[in-house]
Chain A
Amino acid sequence: MYDILIIGAGVIGASVARELSRYDLNIAVLEAREDVATATTAANSAIVHAGYDCIPGSLMARFNVEGNGLFDEIKSELDIPFKRTGSLVLAFDDEDKRMLEKLFIQGEKNGVEGLEIISRDEVMDREPNINPNIKSALWAPTAGITCPYELTVAYMENAIDNGVKLFLEHTVTGLSKDRDGSFTVITSKGKFRALYIINCAGVQGDMISNMLGLEEFSIIPRRGEYLLYDRKYGNTVNSVIFQPPSRRGKGVLVTQTVDGNLLVGPNAEDITSREDISTTNSGLDYVYNMAKRSIPDLTRKGVIRTFAGLRAISDTGDFIIGPSTEIEGLFHVAGICSPGLSAAPAIGKELARIIGEHVGSLREKTDFNPYRCAIPRFKDLSLGEQQRLIDKDPRYGRVICRCETVTEGEIIEALHRSLPVNTIDGVKRRTRAGMGRCQGGFCTPRIMDIMARELHVSMEDITKCGADSNIVVGKIREKREREMKTI
């Protein structure tokens, strides 16, 4: 019997798990997929929003601004990339200028610090590649960029280090409340029991509550598509460039990523499927054309990848955070669309507070360790540090991914951490091997070799992203025959 079962290991489930791991509780996380951070958390804009565009008084406003403020602490505790680049909302005409004023007032109400409406000339000084026809812009110095999957991995590794159990490839298929008040959770790999359930299932959030016969809220998936550019184009902008928001979202933005690429998107399209993260011609065209309004010289040359993610939009119009109105012991963290990533650190802490309130009081562990070290990123080290690392472990001297300069040492480290990985995508998200301009064309076979050796699996068993996504389907004749002979 667990004290707490968390369903879903996106950034929300991981943040909640980590914050609760401070206390003397028996916690497990159930995740359907083969790794953490594979769903919405893997495909979004990665912006830590300032918080001026949320409606004052909403949960979004509160947790966005609080979450934003926590990122410096999270960065130093969990060794994650985070950069306060600031953001600009551009006004293209007088109506937009009125919108900026509205956002400014809204931001002040929400407690966003440092907001300023700046002139066209000031904008052009900071951002020389921006459309010179803009009128003015809203400057928000607290906005920043981070890496959503790295943040999630960091949260989960730290949670595991502090005693949380993670069960990957465990899809929750049924839930029931027992007579003693506890829950039975049926998964694709067996039953679990727990006193409390925290629903962090992203776009599937309403499905979890449906499993208990509840219809508390419903989630609509809203897809957003992106163009990701080669690092060569990263310097096109220095801060996050927004256009005035509309009812359907924050509009198409242009930003640098923490790894130095240029990211452009998203559009917003309500769809029926909760799995359809395919990109479309029309979506990508729209994103590109809208982005060109901000950056007139943008071309589609230099795009190295396109992708899409699903926002979990709740019918309440706000985040849903707290106890179920119907069933005691069930807690929802649902409808966490944008600014969910920004809010994640604050949402984790809030859940710990709410659970504490419910249980009476939570006992803090004396040996809680708030720190986690990232995999060394060879490329970002100084020459001296690089040499020292190679002296210690020569495998850091062998470059496997040429585009991102990722070494064998980093890949091996990723395979053997407290939250281990066994997929090509998992290695990619942790080390960036395969994220660059050749998109793994060069390093995938080399990474497979390393994985086969380190994890004692055959090449045929190595997958891109879990079951049924194998990279190769068998051996060639000659190799089979050669192996037959040696037996």
Chain B
Amino acid sequence: MRVQVDVAIIGGGPAGLAAAIACHDQGIQDILILERDRHLGGILQQCIHTGFGLHRFGEELTGPEYAHIFIDGVKDRNISYLLDTMVIEIRKDKIIYALNSEKGLIEIEAKAIILAMGCRERTRGAIQIPGDRPAGVYTAGMAQLLVNMEGYLPGKEIVILGSGDIGLIMARRLTWEGANVKMVCEIMPYSSGLARNIRQCLDDYDIPLLFNHTVVKVHGSKRLEGVTIAEVDSNRVPIPGSERYIECDTLLLSVGLLPENELSEGANVLLDEITGGPIVDEYRHTSVDGIFACGNVLHVHDLVDYVSEEAEIAARGVARYLKGDKSDSRISISHGAGIQYTVPHIISSRDEDVELFFRANGIYNDGMIQLTYGKDILYTKRYNHIVPGKMERIRIKKDILRQLDMEGNIRISWRQREDELSDEAHMYSLSTGM
């Protein structure tokens, strides 16, 4: 089968759905969503806890509730979608190959493509935990699917490695189901999960969270029998003598999410080493003409609200692209101290304000984020606190952008308050009694 569309959207999760709706509302007629699962909604369908939509809708919805607002939006607009349909190849000339059991091979020719494939979980192999290879070692997301979608309990005595949000949510979920969650080990001195999840999922159930701890060995030939955990030093190397054996039948891994970009790479889309997602401009246009990206395939978001927002940005980009608007510049953004990554990576037009999203590469207190252009300071914003677990954003005004060279470079960095204003900082610490 062969079809032609204006926009093909790969993935029917929150990113793909919001992008489809926004594309439609921009006047694009011919949209097709391709989703490999049996339902729309993406990962949200298995997130039956509340905590979605606080920013966007001002109320706490469950994952499926949040998804359904968008699924309804897609259906109301009669946007086409194919379920149980796996995209197996995207070519850089925007030909897509997909597969389902009803239509067989489907060839789709698109004027523009939005990548919205989400992410997958980092596995045991990726972090190379040595030891035996029994049943009972699962990623937290797979355990979540088993419990919430299939109705089965993966185990009874549980250790969780990594304090990512899925792990935290699963600690509570499994406790509710009568399992004994013994501990969460986190190799870093801080959690990448949301503070509210640590409170509501661990603290409320007295589940210990051990910072600077990791699993160094897996034991059990058939089903997991236990794990050896150890404390790590500041270089994340296990400290000899600190090993402890913990009996358990299940080890859940919540050790990070990886944007799923094998398809994108097949289309020659350039990726950012740090995010694992495509390099994009402010409209989420990738390095390949006419291919856009949004949601977790671009970078891992902590809140779905921001995924939806980003999808709408990409949809605006697609509308501009289809109208033939060309970019007029290529302002790059580089990272100074304290910055892990930014999205977008480049700014290619100066018609609108640009929202710059970024994550810190560690925990920093009492300082500021600064945008500089050569020696000029473009922008300063004070922060009491920034952490890697929380995506931050700042808005760069179009008036500022218009003053810059077309090929200029903006540098974003964290500055400790003392760096610049040591006197003031001194006064500050006196006044707070520190």
CB pair B128–A475 under 8 Å, yes or no, is no
CB pair A477–B177 under 8 Å, yes or no, is yes
CB distance from A395 to the nearest CB of B (A): 6
Task: Give bound CA distance, A471 to B224, whole Å.
Answer: 10
CB pair B99–A306 under 8 Å, yes or no, is no
Within 8 A of B (CB), among A271-292: 275, 277-281, 283-284
CB pair B222–A465 under 8 Å, yes or no, is yes
**Contact among B105, B133, B178 with A307 in the assembled complex (CB-CB below 8 Å):** B133
Q: Which of B36, B142, B155, B219 has the most CB of A within 10 A?
A: B142
Residues of B within 8 A of A466 (CB): 222
**Contact among A227, A387, A395, A479 with B151 in the assembled complex (CB-CB below 8 Å):** A479
CB pair A304–B99 under 8 Å, yes or no, is no
Residues of B within 8 A of A472 (CB): 146, 152-155
Q: Which of A304, A387, A399, A444 has the most CB of B within 10 A?
A: A399
**Chain A residue with Cβ nearest B1:** A387
Number of A residues, CB within 8 Å of B: 62
CB pair B135–A464 under 8 Å, yes or no, is yes
Within 8 A of A (CB), among B68-97: 84, 86, 88, 97
Q: Kindly state whether residue B102 has any CB partner on chain A within 8 Å.
A: yes
Q: Kindly state whether residue B150 has any CB partner on chain A within 8 Å.
A: yes
Residues of A within 8 A of B212 (CB): none
CB distance from A124 to the nearest CB of B (A): 27
Within 8 A of A (CB), among B93-119: 97, 99-105
Contacts known (A442-B120, A465-B222); A284 close to B128, Cβ less than 8 A: yes
Q: Kindly state whether residue A380 has any CB partner on chain B within 8 Å.
A: no
Task: Give bound CA distance, A473 to B151, whole Å.
Answer: 11
**Chain B residue with Cβ nearest A408:** B101
**Chain A residue with Cβ nearest B176:** A477
**Contact among B97, B124, B131, B139 with A278 in the assembled complex (CB-CB below 8 Å):** B131
CB distance from A94 to the nearest CB of B (A): 36
CB distance from A255 to the nearest CB of B (A): 18
Q: Kindly state whether residue A171 has any CB partner on chain B within 8 Å.
A: no
CB pair B120–A441 under 8 Å, yes or no, is yes
- Mask of B276-319 contacts with A, CB within 8 angstroms, 1/0: 00000000000000000000000000000000000000000000
Residues of B within 8 A of A125 (CB): none
Task: Give bound CA distance, A478 to B151, whole Å.
Answer: 8
CB pair A399–B151 under 8 Å, yes or no, is no
CB distance from B47 to the nearest CB of A (A): 16
CB pair B120–A397 under 8 Å, yes or no, is no
CB pair B152–A303 under 8 Å, yes or no, is no
Within 8 A of A (CB), among B133-155: 133-135, 138-139, 141-142, 145-147, 149-155
Residues of A within 8 A of B156 (CB): 473
CB pair A399–B142 under 8 Å, yes or no, is no
- Mask of A436-477 contacts with B, CB within 8 angstroms, 1/0: 011111101100110000000001100111111111111111
Q: Which of B36, B133, B145, B146 has the most CB of A within 10 A?
A: B133
Contacts known (A275-B221, A394-B101, A459-B152); A402 close to B125, Cβ less than 8 A: no
Q: Kindly state whether residue B123 has any CB partner on chain A within 8 Å.
A: yes
Residues of A within 8 A of B142 (CB): 440-442, 444-445
CB pair B104–A390 under 8 Å, yes or no, is yes
Q: Kindly state whether residue B121 has any CB partner on chain A within 8 Å.
A: yes
Residues of A within 8 A of B249 (CB): 473
Q: Kindly state whether residue A187 has any CB partner on chain B within 8 Å.
A: no
CB distance from B34 to the nearest CB of A (A): 12
Residues of A within 8 A of B265 (CB): 232
Residues of A within 8 A of B88 (CB): 399, 405
Q: Kindly state whether residue B362 has any CB partner on chain A within 8 Å.
A: no
Q: Which of B101, B139, B141, B177 has the most CB of A within 10 A?
A: B101
Contacts known (A306-B130, A473-B155); A441 close to B102, Cβ less than 8 A: no
* A-binding residues in B (CB < 8 A): 36, 84, 86, 88, 97, 99-105, 120-121, 123-126, 128, 130-135, 138-139, 141-142, 145-147, 149-156, 177-178, 216-219, 221-223, 249, 262, 265
**Given A394-B104, A437-B120, A464-B223, 11 additional A-B pairs, CB 8 A:** A283-B130, A304-B123, A304-B125, A390-B101, A397-B99, A398-B84, A399-B36, A439-B124, A441-B141, A445-B145, A473-B249
* B-binding residues in A (CB < 8 A): 227-228, 232, 275, 277-281, 283-284, 300, 303-307, 383, 386-387, 390-391, 394-399, 402-403, 405, 408, 424, 437-442, 444-445, 448-449, 459-460, 463-479
10 contacts between A and B (CB under 8 A): A227-B128, A304-B123, A395-B101, A441-B139, A464-B134, A467-B222, A468-B222, A473-B153, A473-B155, A477-B177
